Amino acid sequence: MRRVLAIACFLAGLLPVVAFASGGDEGGLISLDKSLIIQAVNFVILLVLLTKLLYKPLMKKMDERTQAIQKSLDEAQAARAEAQKERDDFAAKIQAAHGEAQAIRAEALKEAAEEQRRLVDAAKAEAARLVASARQELEQDVRRARQELRREVADLAIGVSQQLIKKSLNDSEHRRIVDDAIARMGQKN
């Protein structure tokens, strides 16, 4: 409204200048009579009508449009901020998941190393047990073999003694019997 009044005052101020420029009474561009007042009133009415019918609705639409654009900009800014927040949250979640995966991996490696150590210890213990068992069996076999050898030697000695006693032998027969016993002993081992 202030603009309209400013324009009307400006034009009203120009009227006398234009009137004097017309050259006085001779019917120039503007004549200073009652038609000038009617024209001025018509101009003011036209100005008021144009302001009411065109200028105010146009300014109202422009304000609405400005508000709509500002609202869209605010919404876009809010959406951008929300997207940035979600991106930061997602990056934090990825970082946390990566850290958790590293922890799980480290734990799995630790468990695998522990399991490997346990298996190696168990294998060493089993090997030691098998070696001890084999030694025991070997010692038992050696003892049995010695006992059997003693029995056989004793049996041979008894047999030789019996033969010697039954016969009175001379030295050559005695040697032959001992050599036979030694040969039989060598064949059994």
Structural domain contains residue 9:
no
For residue range 105-120, list pLDDT tens digits in order.
Answer: 999 999 999 999 999 9
Lowest mean pLDDT among 30-39, 53-62, 168-177: 168-177
Cα(74)–Cα(11) distance, integer angstroms: 42
Lowest mean pLDDT among 2-11, 41-50, 125-134: 2-11
Cα(51)–Cα(3) distance, integer angstroms: 10
What is the model's pLDDT at position 161? 74
For residue range 156-167, list pLDDT tens digits in order.
Answer: 777 777 776 666
Structural domain contains residue 46:
no
What is the model's pLDDT at position 169? 56
Structural domain contains residue 148:
yes
Number of structural domains found in the chain:
1
Torsion of CA 103, 105, 107, 109, to 10 degrees: -150
Structural domain contains residue 39:
no
Task: Read off the pLDDT band of 168 (50, 70, 90).
Answer: low
Task: Read off the pLDDT band of 76 (50, 70, 90).
Answer: very high
Structural domain contains residue 182:
yes
Structural domain contains residue 153:
yes
Nearest Cα to Cα of residue 177 among 39, 14, 188, 166: 166
What is the model's pLDDT at position 78? 95
Structural domain contains residue 34:
no
Q: Which of 80-89, 136-145, 153-162, 179-188 has the highest average model confidence (pLDDT)?
A: 80-89
Instruction: For residue 162, give its domain range.
Output: 139-188
Structural domain contains residue 156:
yes
Question: 11 to each of 15, 43, 54, how far by Cα in Å?
Answer: 6, 10, 20
